[in-house]
Structures are given as structure tokens and as C-alpha cells.
Amino acid sequence: MPSDRIRLSVAEAREHAERAMRGIGYDAEEACILADHAIDAALCGYEYSGLAKLLNIPEHRRFKQPRRTMRVLRETEVSVLYDGGNNVGMLVMYRAARAAIAKAATHGFAIVGVSDSWMSGRSAYYVEMIAKADLIGFHTAASGRAVAPPGGRRPALGTNPIAFGMPSARGPIVFDMGTSAFMGTDLSYRERMGQRYRTG
């Protein structure tokens, strides 16, 4: 293992991550949710979406803009639309997934939408939450045009548009699709680390 790498236990990683998130203004519950998302990604083998992902939060252009409490815009027994209040998507989507689970557990079906949030993280995280609740989950995410479709010359797709999760006898089955050779977060990570990357 290279000498410039640091090994952390899960407990140590959680402590560092939560302290860092509290240090930039998140409360204890928010810091716990953000840390869990990053640690889960790291344990799944996505280093760029692990603790390094948390560095992207205070660097994001919307981080310094005012945050509001997430609130319901419209709601029915089987649906809810949230205003994310300019909160980081990893918090907003966590709460939206919990709402979807609660509604679907009661009614057998739910649709949840979110507006005004940014950087939702790994879609697999949310559909796995739903699958662990013995439900089938679909997550789609809007994003800027970054990837040209096959045969295309201009960007038309985001890098991480859709994910599915479903329960099985062996545990959740999760499919989280990317459309590019590198996810946007992976590119940011490689740039931060000064690594070269080739797309061909």
C-alpha cells in the first residue's frame, strides 16, 4: 500500500466525517446522514464518492446560498412533492426516501419528488434503503448536460440518471447506471488528487 495513504476504521472515518460536517454548519443529525452516505460509498469501493465527496459540499457554488427547511409543496396519500430548500441533495434525498418508504409501506405505492437541491450523491444509496424495507425503488435525477449519447457529438445526458433497487432472498439487488466513463464526482476527485485520466 502506498505510504501516502491513511487507513481508518469505520468508527474513525465516521468521527472525522461528522466533525467536519458539523464544522461547516450542519447539525448532529445532518452530519450523521452525510457521513453515513460517504462511508457507505467507500465501503462499496467508490473511493471518489467516499470521504473525499464531503469536500465537494463546501466547494459547491450553492453551498454559500441561504438554506431553508425542507417543506412539503403538495401531498396526497401516495405522493409528496418537496421543496428541498437549497439543501445538499444527500440530506434531502435521504428524507425523501424515508417518506417514500413510509407511504409505500402503508399504501403499497408512492411517488416522491424533490426540487431545489443539489449534489444528491449515489442513487444506489436511496434505492438500497427502499429495497431493505422490502419495497422496489426507482430513482431518477436531473442534471446538467455532460455526456453525449452513443453516436452523438453534443452533451445531452447527465452522468448518473437512474437507479433501481429491489429486495431478494439474498439481500437488495441494486442497479445504479452511469452514462460516462467517469462520474462527475470521480473527475473532481482525480483533479483534486492531480491524477491524469484518459477517456479513450
Residue 126 covered by a domain = no
Q: What is the pLDDT of residues 77-125, one digit of tens each?
A: 999 999 999 999 999 999 999 999 999 999 999 999 999 999 999 999 9
- Is the pLDDT at 4 greater than 90, yes or no? no
> From the CB of residue 54, how many other CB atoms can be counted at a distance below 10 Å?
22
Domain containing 171 equals: 134-200
In a domain, 195, yes or no: yes
Q: Into how many domains does the chain fold? A: 3
Cα gap 163→140, rounded to integer Å: 7
Lowest mean pLDDT among 12-16, 41-45, 145-149: 145-149
Contact 9, 15 (CB under 8 A): no
What are the start-end ranges of the E strands in the chain?
71-75, 79-88, 111-118, 137-140, 162-166, 173-177
pTM listed for this prediction: 0.86
Q: Which of the pair, 54 or 147, is modelled with greater confidence?
A: 54
Place of cell 437507479: 163
Looking at the fold, whether 148 and 195 belong to one and the same domain comes out as yes
Q: Which three cell numbers stand for residue 171?
A: 439481500
Residue 147 has pLDDT above 70, yes or no: yes
